[in-house]
Chain A
Amino acid sequence: MEIRRDVFQAIADPTRRAILSLVAIQAMTPGVIAENFDSSRQTISKHIQILTECELLTQEQNGREIYYQTNAKKMKEVADFIEPFRKMWDDRFNTLETIMKNYQPKK
């Protein structure tokens, strides 16, 4: 549960979300990722580090370079963040349905 919360914090940041969508298209080195942003390279490195710690990014060594890409499996889990919200509404609507099935018009 602790890890899950961290993942949500990780994707709450707009820059980190932008990084995720960038490397979703193709694996990139930190240098190339940083070129797409106005922020300093250190700042972007920090973002990449957080995303990697949350397993949203995976690393692959290719010669001297490290390439980053999105971890599809983890991303799927994050997409499921909507589930508790959906469950909440489903529960409410189920209750609504039960109440109204038993509804007796006021005399």
Chain B
Amino acid sequence: MELKTKINAEDGQQDLVITREFDLPLALLFKAYDEPEIVAQWMGTKVLKLESKKYGGYQFETTDPKGNIVFKANGVIHEFIQNQRITRTFEMENSPFAAQLEFLEFESVSEEKSKLTMHIIYKSAELRDQMLKLPFAQGINMAHNRLQEIVNQLK
């Protein structure tokens, strides 16, 4: 099945662009980034803090079933413009990876469709490639299965 998410990562560059079209009106898409409870659900992580505003910041923390912390991240928010743009940093804690800069642009495609463009800039091209090769699949599947349960409960 064709994935709806596209990634443009040019060889040797220190940035990449993720684009995705959603079957959601723009306001609903943006809300999924705005409200801590919703972010927690689709990101599959605990949201310790999310201040959706300029000068705000956020903190995520994911624990395994035994309560061990498996993922901890934080960042600061530079721009938070409703239904339009979020500019923020992202730093994975307890990792050798440097902070990255993220530009998120939200656009309306039609009444029922919207588009997200996420431009991520890494400290170096090497770092970008290393981040891409992190063994995401395992941890994410775990989180994803949990998410699936949440979503099923909503239905």
Contact = CB atoms under 8 A, between A and B. Distances in A.
Specify the main secondary structure of chain B where it touches its partner. Answer: helix
Contact of A84 (B31, B136, B144): B136
Interface stretch (A53-61, A63-71, A99-107): A99-107
A12 B129 contact: yes
Interface residues of B, number: 36
B10 to A, nearest CB: 11
Contacts of B41: 95, 99
Given A12-B126, A81-B133, A86 B28 contact: no
B92 interface: no
B66 interface: no
Contact of A100 (B5, B9, B32): B32
Nearest to B22: A97
Contacts of B20: 89-90, 93
Contacts of A25: none
Contacts of A89: 5, 7, 18, 20
Assign chain A's interface to a size class. Answer: 20 to 34
B140 A99 contact: no
A3 interface: no
Interface string B1-39: 001111101000000001010111000110110000010
Nearest to A87: B3
A91 B42 CA distance: 9
B101 interface: no
A69 B51 CA distance: 52
Contacts of B140: 88, 91-92
Interface centre among B5, B9, B29 (most CB of A within 10 A): B5
Interface of B: 3-7, 9, 18, 20, 22-24, 28-29, 31-32, 38, 41-44, 116, 126, 129-130, 132-133, 136-137, 140, 144, 147-148, 150-151, 154-155
